[in-house]
Amino acid sequence: MAKHYYYLLLSGMLFLSSCQSVEQLSIDYMLPAEVSFPPTLKRVAIVNNMPEVPDNKLIVSEEAEKKEENEIARLTNYYNGDARLTTEALAEALANENYFEEVVICDSALRSKDITPRESTLSREEASKLIQDLDVDFLIALENIQMRSTRKISYLRDWGAFYGTVDVKVYPTVKIYLPNRKGPMVTINNNDSIFWEEMGNGEASVRARLIGENDLIKQASEFAGTVPVKRLLPHWKTANRYLFQGGSVNMRDAAVYAKEGNWAEAVQLWKKNFEAKKGKQKMYSAYNIAMGYEMQDSIDTATEWALKAQQIAREISKVDKKEKDEISDSTISYYILISLYVDELQERKEGLTRLKAQMNRFNE
């Protein structure tokens, strides 16, 4: 998320600091999961391995929190999530991805009849029995779901209105169990946030319209079930790219080919421009060539050209100079932008082998 906002900032810098015509594009590509499941693991059971806990929350008083400017009040609550809802949401999210042949759910608390507290981790015997009873190949167990809610009311003087927000950070923990294996295969600790807001003329009306505690726990618990999926399964990512399209006939003609999806022809014209030009035009061409190869799924070649663009940007922006007054703000933004692009391409390149292995189950 932070990188997304960084791109928006850089985009503004590029448009303001240059006469170069720039068009923002988006690209969707797949990234591998952190966990790789052998193709033989086709049926999975999602189980609720949380104890039944009382409704307990710790309220942090408004005075205990440091308020931001224009804040009227802030309140922080800590909750136990609804494990049943989180387990159901996790099972539904995994089933919707169609990665496994079958997703079975066991959302009743496995430890609801425990008389004495014990470690939440399932023993080898417990995991193997569940796998056998549910007729699956392995288990994904919800082990914990905690939440931190921050509720704020602010007065926006420029708008003459009150603004209320509720930001809930969820912390689900899941473990993966294989049959006849001592202890879990892996433990995944995640966190993510869900957000609500209201605006109005009166503080009381804004407070009243903000999400209530029961609905907050319900919706945040359901949201928490979707959070681990990106770490468990290959997933799609949408990223920003930039098309530099002015400064020469070749650049303008290549932009037309690019907009038509004819990336091969566009790349050839950008290469001609790269050979003929110097400075920023050479940098723009190298960046466009990298993007053109990425659009054709040639990630290795795309990375090579992005590194060329990065080196040219480094020389133009003088980032290696110690004298700060020699560094141009109008060009260093290009170096930052291209460096972020290099990072993304290298992330894709490093994950290709793992992604291919994870998707092989559909080729069998």
The confidence score (pLDDT) of residue 70 equals 84
Query: With a cut of 70, which residues of the chain have pLDDT below it?
Result: 1-20, 53-67, 69, 107-119, 319-332, 364
Let me know the angle formed at the C-alpha of 270 by 329 and 353, rounded to the nearest 5 degrees.
90
Q: Specify the amino acid at residue 243.
A: L
* pLDDT tens per residue across span 177-222: 999 888 899 999 999 999 999 999 999 999 999 999 999 999 999 9
* pLDDT tens per residue across span 279-314: 999 999 999 999 999 999 999 999 999 999 999 999
Locus of tokens 């294989």: 178
The confidence score (pLDDT) of residue 330 equals 55
Residue span(s) of the chain under CATH 1.25.40 come to 2-24+240-363
Q: For residue 234, report the phi and psi dihedrals to the nearest 5 degrees.
A: -55, 145
The confidence score (pLDDT) of residue 282 equals 95
The confidence score (pLDDT) of residue 46 equals 96
Residue span(s) of the chain under CATH 3.30.160 come to 43-235
- CATH code of the domain occupying 43-235: 3.30.160
**Structural tokens at position 46:** 């999602």
- CATH code of the domain occupying 2-24+240-363: 1.25.40
The three-class DSSP label of residue 202 is: coil
The confidence score (pLDDT) of residue 317 equals 79
> For the whole prediction, is pTM greater than 0.85?
no
The confidence score (pLDDT) of residue 4 equals 40
Task: Measure the CA–CA gap between 169 and 155, rounded to whole angstroms.
Answer: 24
The confidence score (pLDDT) of residue 113 equals 57
Label residues 133-151 b or e (16+ Cβ within 10 Å = b).
Answer: ebebbbbbbbbbbebbbbb
141 strand-pairing partners:
47, 175
